[in-house]
């Protein structure tokens, strides 16, 4: 393990370079061999990895001109990496991220790029139960020709519990143009049982354009299940 000393020009450094990772600990900044992550064996994680491998192969099958379109789209959209808004995504990263969203909701890959902003969307306002059926409700009808959504939910949590994204699980819903979307089967598959009425659930939701490789930020919060 190497120890790093900073000077007046470089005041901080973090991240990975090749097979090495630089991180801060009680000894200061240190460099070590990049750790190999422990991969879970859940069906959801397996599906993500399978989709990523598939998308890597489809990216390689694009022509140079098609790949250039994804690079140039960023000049229009200005999408940046998560940790630094001054650094744009690469066309390759944008392709993998956006197309993965489409695969997760069961849609075909986008093949023709349209230069369009993220469309206006309806917000998630309620989680409701009717005769044992659980649904998301939005402020209005979703126009699935323009956009759709991905949503994750937690297991039941206390009303006073601060929001946490830990252990949220993806809820697959049928693609279509509706105001409410059932998630009973997805929730039971993810957690083993449906939640009780009046329970509080934490959520994270992201909206995806269906006509251009753009997507919203992640909206988070907590909602109480309402019986209707």
Provide the domain count of the chain: 3
HSE-CB at 154 with a 13 A cutoff on CA atoms is 22
Which residue is listed with tokens 């998560």? 82
**Of all helices (H) and strands (E), which one includes residue 95?**
helix 91-104
Is 110 a member of any domain? no
Is 113 a member of any domain? no
Is 112 a member of any domain? no
Domain assignment of residue 59, given as a range = 43-104
Is 100 a member of any domain? yes
HSE-CB at 203 with a 13 A cutoff on CA atoms is 23
**d(C-alpha 94, C-alpha 80), whole Å:** 10
What distances in angstroms separate CA 139 from CA 50, 52, 81, 84, 181, one per listed residue?
A: 35, 33, 30, 32, 12
The per-residue pLDDT string of the chain (228 residues; one tens digit each, 9 = 90 and over) reads 455 666 666 666 666 766 677 777 666 677 777 666 655 566 667 788 899 999 999 999 999 999 999 999 988 888 887 776 777 789 999 999 999 999 999 999 999 998 999 999 999 999 999 999 999 999 999 999 999 999 999 999 999 999 999 999 999 999 999 999 999 999 999 999 999 999 999 999 999 999 999 999 999 999 999 999
| Predicted pLDDT at 6 | 66
CATH number of residue 214's parent domain: 2.60.40
Is 38 a member of any domain? no
């Amino acid at each position: 393990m190497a120890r790093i000393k900073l000077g007046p020009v470089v005041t901080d450094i973090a991240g990975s370079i090749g097979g090495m990772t630089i991180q801060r600990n009680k000894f200061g900044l240190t460099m070590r061999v990049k750790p190999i992550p422990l991969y879970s064996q859940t069906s959801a994680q397996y599906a993500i990895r399978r989709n990523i491998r598939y998308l890597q192969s489809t990216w390689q099958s694009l022509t140079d001109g098609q790949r250039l379109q994804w690079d140039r789209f960023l000049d229009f959209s200005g999408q940046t990496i998560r940790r630094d808004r001054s650094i744009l995504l690469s066309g390759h990263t944008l392709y993998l991220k956006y197309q993965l969203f489409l695969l997760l909701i069961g849609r075909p890959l986008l093949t023709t790029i349209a230069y369009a902003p993220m469309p206006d969307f309806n917000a998630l306002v309620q989680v409701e139960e009717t005769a044992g059926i659980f649904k998301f409700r939005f402020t209005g009808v979703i126009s699935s020709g323009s956009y759709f959504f991905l949503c994750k939910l937690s297991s039941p949590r206390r009303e006073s519990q601060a929001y946490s994204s830990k252990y949220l699980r993806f809820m697959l819903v049928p693609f279509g143009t509706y105001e409410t979307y059932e998630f009973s089967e997805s929730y039971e598959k993810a957690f083993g049982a449906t939640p009780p009425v009046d329970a509080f659930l934490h959520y994270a939701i992201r909206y995806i354009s269906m006509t251009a490789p753009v997507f919203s930020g992640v909206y988070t919060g907590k909602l109480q299940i309402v019986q209707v």
